[in-house]
């Protein structure tokens, strides 16, 4: 067992983990932050995307010990301090950017990483950035629309196909 410490959503946390403990397992099982979803466990689906030192990563494809000392942000830290939805979360609600909701934590965290890098992405840039996030309800259209809206851009151009 190894001891790890990190900052998760602004809170100092620590724990004892095995070498093989994934960051996703540490977040879910040790910290009980179950908003980070494990969809495929094969690094295909992106439901487990969190930010480590500001960069979007798949928490199921990184060991907890590799995040020792890091700043981690999960979906639980996405809402505003007063508990209201963040701009991105609100846009997902307004534009029906989720159906079953399973992929949503990863979608929102990927969207947040994209908008930090590129505050006004084109539709094509949004679609390319979401290559590693799979929605098995196939609700991509409204997800893209929600991210477009969250960036403050007009979504009328995205036709309701």
Partner 1 sequence: MYAFDIERPSTIADAVTALQGEDAQALGGGQTLIPTLKQRLAAPSKLVSLSGIGEMQGVCVGDDGAVCIGGATTHATVSREAAAHYPGLAALASHIGDPAVRNRGTIGGSLANNDPAACYPAAALASGATIVTNNREIAADDYFQGMFSTALDEGEVITEVRFPVPQAANYQKFLQPASRFALVGVFVAKYADGVRVAVTGASENGVFRWAEAEAALSADFSASTLDGLNMDADGMIADLHGSSAYRAHLVKVNTKRAVDAAS
Binding stretches for partner 1 (CB under 8 A): 2, 18-20, 22, 41-43, 46, 49, 52, 55-58, 61-63, 65-66, 68, 110, 113-114, 129, 131-133
Q: Residue 12 or 131: which CB sits closer to partner 1?
A: 131
Q: Residue 22 or 27: which CB sits closer to partner 1?
A: 22
Residue whose structure tokens are 């301090």:
81
Q: Residue 54 or 96: which CB sits closer to partner 1?
A: 54
Q: Taking the complex as a whole, how short is the minimal distance between the CB of residue 42 and partner 1, in angstroms?
A: 6
Q: Taking the complex as a whole, how short is the minimal distance between the CB of residue 111 and partner 1, in angstroms?
A: 11
Distance, in Å, from the CA atom of 31 to the CA atom of 33, rounded to the nearest integer, reads 5
Distance, in Å, from the CA atom of 31 to the CA atom of 72, rounded to the nearest integer, reads 12
Reduced to 3 states (helix: H, G, I; strand: E, B; else coil), residue 134 is coil
Q: What is the DSSP letter of 37?
A: -
Q: Residue 38 or 85: which CB sits closer to partner 1?
A: 38
Residue whose structure tokens are 């994934």:
22
**102-124 b/e (C-beta count within 10 Å ≥ 16 → b):** bbbbbbbbbbbbbbeeeeebeee
Q: What is the DSSP letter of 143?
A: H
Q: Taking the complex as a whole, how short is the minimal distance between the CB of residue 16 and partner 1, in angstroms?
A: 13
Residue whose structure tokens are 């487990």:
48
Q: Taking the complex as a whole, how short is the minimal distance between the CB of residue 19 and partner 1, in angstroms?
A: 4
């Amino acid at each position: 067992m190894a001891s790890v410490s990190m900052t998760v959503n602004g809170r100092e946390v620590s724990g004892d983990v095995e070498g093989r403990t994934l960051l996703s397992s540490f977040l879910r099982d040790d910290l009980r932050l179950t908003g980070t979803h494990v969809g495929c466990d094969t690094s295909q689906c992106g439901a487990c995307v969190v930010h480590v030192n500001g960069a979007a990563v798949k928490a199921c494809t990184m060991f907890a010990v590799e995040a020792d000392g890091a700043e981690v942000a999960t979906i639980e830290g996405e809402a505003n301090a007063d508990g209201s939805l963040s701009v991105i979360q609100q846009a997902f609600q307004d534009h029906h950017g989720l159906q079953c909701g399973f992929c949503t934590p990863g979608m929102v965290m990927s969207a947040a990483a994209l908008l930090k890098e590129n505050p006004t992405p084109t539709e094509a840039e949004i679609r390319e950035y979401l290559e590693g996030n799979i929605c098995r309800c196939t609700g991509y259209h409204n997800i893209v629309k929600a991210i477009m809206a969250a960036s403050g851009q007009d979504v009328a151009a995205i036709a309701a196909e």
